[in-house]
Amino acid sequence: MTLEERFLRYISVYTTSDESSDTCPSTDRQLDLADILFDELKSIGIEDVSMEQGYVYAHVPASEKYKSNRAVAFISHMDTAPDFNGNHVKPQIIEDYDGKDVLLRGSGDMLSVSDFPELASLRGRTLITTDGTSLLGADDKAGVSEIMTAVSEIIADGTPHGDIYIVFTPDEEIGRGSDYFSFEKCRADYGYTVDGDYEGEVAYENFNAAAATVTVIGKSVHPGEAKNIMKNASTIACEFQSLLPSAETPEHTEKREGFYYLIGMSGSCDRATLSYIIRDHDHDIFENRKKFITETADFLNQKYGEGTVSVDIHDQYQNMIEVMKDHMDVVEAAKDAIRAAGLDPVSRPVRGGTDGAMLSFRGLPCPNLGTGGYGFHGPYEHCTLEGMETEMEIIKYLMTHPLL
């Protein structure tokens, strides 16, 4: 099976995760892809394949030449983001793409070069887009396809390789991809998540992340008799939001700039809730952001009465640079693989998180490789076959050049 055939097969499987679910995996539909991958890993000649709580594990023992080298893991997630429809994916395959705007025929929207400037550089390639009615699923089925194709080719060709572990995880998109990761089934010394975007990427920095829930308790009375009595929780919630720095939001920040992101709000006169995520690469600035949230609540409690505003903040993940700075040989190995594929390595701080960040803090140094996909989590998601093929070659290099 070719890389393209695998990718098109995998994206046809509906695997969107569900944050409101407390099961693992959060949706049974993820098991549909897990079953396919389990069977395929067996069919290409891997004996040690298992599945547990929706995680698919495979181990390929090292060739004699590399038995003394360190074991490497390759990890991608099976779920797609709940941000947009992930069902009934209808890909558009455009051979010899002209580098111009693309009509998404299902919705009538345009995938435009003005919004996604990298499109111009993809001219001449085979471009794969959505039809505008769903996301594509390249995040992260491109990564899954690349890992599967890489390992199948080195097994079929008899290429000497190191000790390889493969893990396909559920629920990464809702922040739970590493929750039930088994280090008994994956005994690697280092690893790579294959879950980035542009080819030639190796990322080893990401956001520090926290979630905050702000609850406002009001006092509801008849509006005709409300003077000096009513305390409108929804109005106070709007005031809370207005006190945060207006320019420190996702739509106004880039590169290493952090933000406060209001992801949801609801309320009435007697009670209102605001939900935030807080992000920053710098640990000290991140801590100050969390502090500012609590200080804003304190200010409003002084104004409206103690107990009016309460805040619940919990950390989600940390910047993997704190671990990776002591394992830069893993990053350098990825850069060697990228150069071998004819590209200049690029390392930008990830404006998000990866399973690799959490796994790094649990003892598996795990930077993130690109997949050749762009515009994730929405109808403008796209990738190129050539980009995926390049990433697959990078993975093969890492499988066949393990670290000592």
Active site residues: 79, 172
Residue carrying structure tokens 């008994």: 184
Using the Cα atoms of residue 203, residue 369, residue 320 and residue 174 in order, give the sign of their dihedral: positive
Using alpha carbons, list the distances in angstroms from residue 248 to 22, 239, 245, 251: 32, 16, 5, 8
Radius of gyration from C-alpha coordinates of the chain: 23
Q: CA 329 to CA 100: how far, in whole Å?
A: 40
CB 130 within 8 A of CB 90: yes
Q: CA 394 to CA 366: how far, in whole Å?
A: 15
Give the HSE-up count for residue 117: Cα atoms under 13 Å, Cβ half-sphere: 0
Number of H helices, E strands in the chain: 9, 17
Name which of 21, 52, 15, 291 is nearest 137 in CA terms: 15
| Three-state secondary-structure class, residue 289 | helix
